[in-house]
């Protein structure tokens, strides 16, 4: 090949430079369009880092059978999916209470709640049997045949455990509660709003109960504010309820007797379609911290995420007035990034439900794509 002339070389260099600038500008434009800001304010918890060498930490197992008391036949009770875990620390061991699905039933799988435990927060052993499930009891009419779903768990100052969970009868989701002394044997207390206002809210679609707690060592203890226990709940707006005994709850209403939202969805944001409680809320130095899940709307959502993406935010409420929102993260701090979060029973889902202080870290447990259980951690500051 003959050598280029000086003029040809100059033309070649100019064209190459123009092409390089165009590619760079296009690349920057594309990156800016899809980038997600993850800077957290000082009052928020995090940033959280996924434990990539272990996730997913729990997957379905189809070799373990459970004799279903209603069907009176063995079922692969956690053979289809395991997801949406609650977490709590007992005697330096992390326990997960998690939702598991089988393969059969009217709704393509019945949900039950299983128990797993770990001495390092990462590697878990499981009970062969579920610890909370539909049975031939007083709760059957609320739990069959959809099942028992999506637990959160706290304890009181005496050491009794309180699990909020969703019962589903195929038509209505109801926020319910169960109590235990050892995390293995649970007593169903019934729908949490059953006695409020003469049963006005019994058949209200309700779920996701996050009781307000206070950190004491590695425990999250249910805390009273102004003489009452408080709970955030809901999966459209987030509402509030109060209780004298952690079992019977009364929704907070406005002057007209209507449910009073504590947190709304926002147009144009990752939380544009709905907001839903995550782990139990916590009293921190700056106020009550609530980590919440959310869904991205089709027409009014954040264009950086696919429609119906479940991502998480954080909100801060006044410790003396739990319904008064002080601050809220502008951007999601946790969203589907990994293949196991983007693809599964429901695509593009990170659903946060369990959070515990353990060995100088915060361990955050979540359901990935409604299919598996994963964990992320962040260092604990001296003030926490």
At residue 142, does pLDDT exceed 50?
yes
3-class DSSP state of 258: coil
At 71, list the tokens.
Answer: 């069907």
**How many other β-carbons are positioned within 10 Å of the β-carbon of residue 185?**
11
What range defines the domain where residue 112 resides? 45-379
pLDDT-derived band of residue 10, with 50, 70 and 90 as boundaries? very low
| Poorest-pLDDT segment among 119-123, 191-195, 204-208, 377-381 | 377-381
Q: CATH number of the domain that 190 lies in?
A: 2.115.10.20
- Stretch 96-105: mean pLDDT: 96
Per the domain annotation, does 23 fall within a domain? Answer: no
Tell me the per-residue pLDDT of 175-203, one tens digit each, with 9 for 90 and over: 999 999 999 999 999 999 999 999 999 99
At residue 342, does pLDDT exceed 60?
yes
Q: Which of 48, 42, 39, 43 is nearest to 363 (CA)?
A: 48
3-class DSSP state of 97: strand
What is the spatial distance between Cα 219 and Cα 213, in angstroms, rounded to a whole number? 9
3-class DSSP state of 214: strand
**230 strand-pairing partners:** 242
Alpha helix positions (H), 239-381: 339-342
Contacts of 139 (CB under 8 A, 6+ apart): 167, 176, 188, 190
> Total structural domains in the chain?
1
Per the domain annotation, does 28 fall within a domain? Answer: no
pLDDT-derived band of residue 316, with 50, 70 and 90 as boundaries? very high
Report pLDDT for 138: 98
pLDDT-derived band of residue 2, with 50, 70 and 90 as boundaries? very low
pLDDT-derived band of residue 37, with 50, 70 and 90 as boundaries? low
Per the domain annotation, does 235 fall within a domain? Answer: yes
Per the domain annotation, does 36 fall within a domain? Answer: no
Per the domain annotation, does 11 fall within a domain? Answer: no
3-class DSSP state of 135: coil
What phi, psi does 2 have (nearest 5°)? -75, 155
At residue 287, does pLDDT exceed 80?
yes
Q: Which of 160, 176, 155 is nearest to 356 (CA)?
A: 155
Question: What are the Cα distances from residue 139, in Å, to 130, 133, 144, 163, 249?
Answer: 16, 10, 8, 15, 18
At residue 30, does pLDDT exceed 60?
no
What phi, psi does 84 have (nearest 5°)? 50, 75
Go through the chain and tell me how many residues it has: 384
Report pLDDT for 16: 39
Per the domain annotation, does 265 fall within a domain? Answer: yes
DSSP assignment string, 98-121: EEEE-S-STTSS-EEEEEEEESSS
| pTM for the full predicted model | 0.90
Per the domain annotation, does 133 fall within a domain? Answer: yes
Query: Is the sign of the CA dihedral 163, 247, 320, 89 positive or negative?
Result: negative
At residue 55, does pLDDT exceed 70?
yes
Report pLDDT for 35: 55
Per the domain annotation, does 163 fall within a domain? Answer: yes
Report pLDDT for 108: 86
Contacts of 200 (CB under 8 A, 6+ apart): 193
């Amino acid at each position: 090949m003959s050598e280029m002339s000086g003029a040809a070389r100059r033309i070649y260099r100019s064209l190459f430079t123009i092409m390089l600038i165009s590619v760079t500008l296009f690349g920057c434009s594309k990156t800016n369009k899809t980038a997600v800001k993850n800077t957290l304010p000082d009052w928020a918890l995090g940033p959280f880092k996924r434990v990539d060498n272990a996730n997913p930490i729990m997957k379905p197992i189809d070799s373990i059978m459970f004799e279903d008391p209603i069907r009176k036949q063995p079922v692969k009770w956690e053979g289809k999916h395991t997801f949406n875990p609650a977490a709590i620390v007992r005697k330096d061991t992390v326990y997960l209470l998690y939702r598991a699905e089988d393969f059969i039933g009217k709704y393509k799988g019945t949900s039950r709640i299983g128990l797993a435990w770990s001495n390092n927060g990462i590697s878990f052993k499981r009970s062969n049997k579920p610890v909370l499930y539909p049975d031939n009891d007083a709760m059957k009419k609320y739990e069959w045949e959809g099942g028992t779903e999506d637990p959160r768990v706290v304890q009181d100052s005496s050491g009794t455990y309180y699990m909020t969970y969703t019962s589903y009868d195929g038509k209505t989701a109801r926020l319910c509660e169960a109590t235990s002394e050892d995390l293995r044997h649970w007593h169903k207390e019934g729908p949490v709003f059953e006695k409020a206002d003469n049963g006005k809210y019994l058949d209200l679609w309700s779920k996701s109960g996050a009781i307000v707690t206070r950190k004491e060592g590695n425990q999250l203890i249910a805390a009273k504010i102004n003489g009452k226990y408080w709970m955030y709940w809901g999966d459209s707006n987030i509402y509030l309820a109060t209780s004298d005994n952690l079992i019977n709850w009364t929704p907070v209403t406005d002057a007209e007797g209507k449910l009073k939202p504590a947190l709304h969805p926002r147009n144009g944001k990752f939380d544009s379609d709905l907001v839903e409680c995550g782990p139990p809320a916590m009293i921190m130095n700056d106020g009550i911290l609530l980590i919440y899940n959310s869904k991205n709307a089709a027409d009014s959502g954040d264009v950086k995420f696919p429609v119906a993406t479940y991502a998480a935010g954080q909100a801060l409420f006044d410790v003396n007035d739990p319904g008064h929102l002080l601050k809220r993260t502008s951007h999601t701090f946790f969203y589907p990034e990994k293949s196991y979060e983007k693809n599964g029973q429901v695509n593009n889902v990170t659903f946060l439900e369990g959070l515990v202080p353990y060995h100088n870290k915060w361990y955050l447990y979540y359901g990935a794509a409604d299919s598996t259980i994963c964990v992320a951690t962040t260092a604990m500051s001296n003030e926490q």
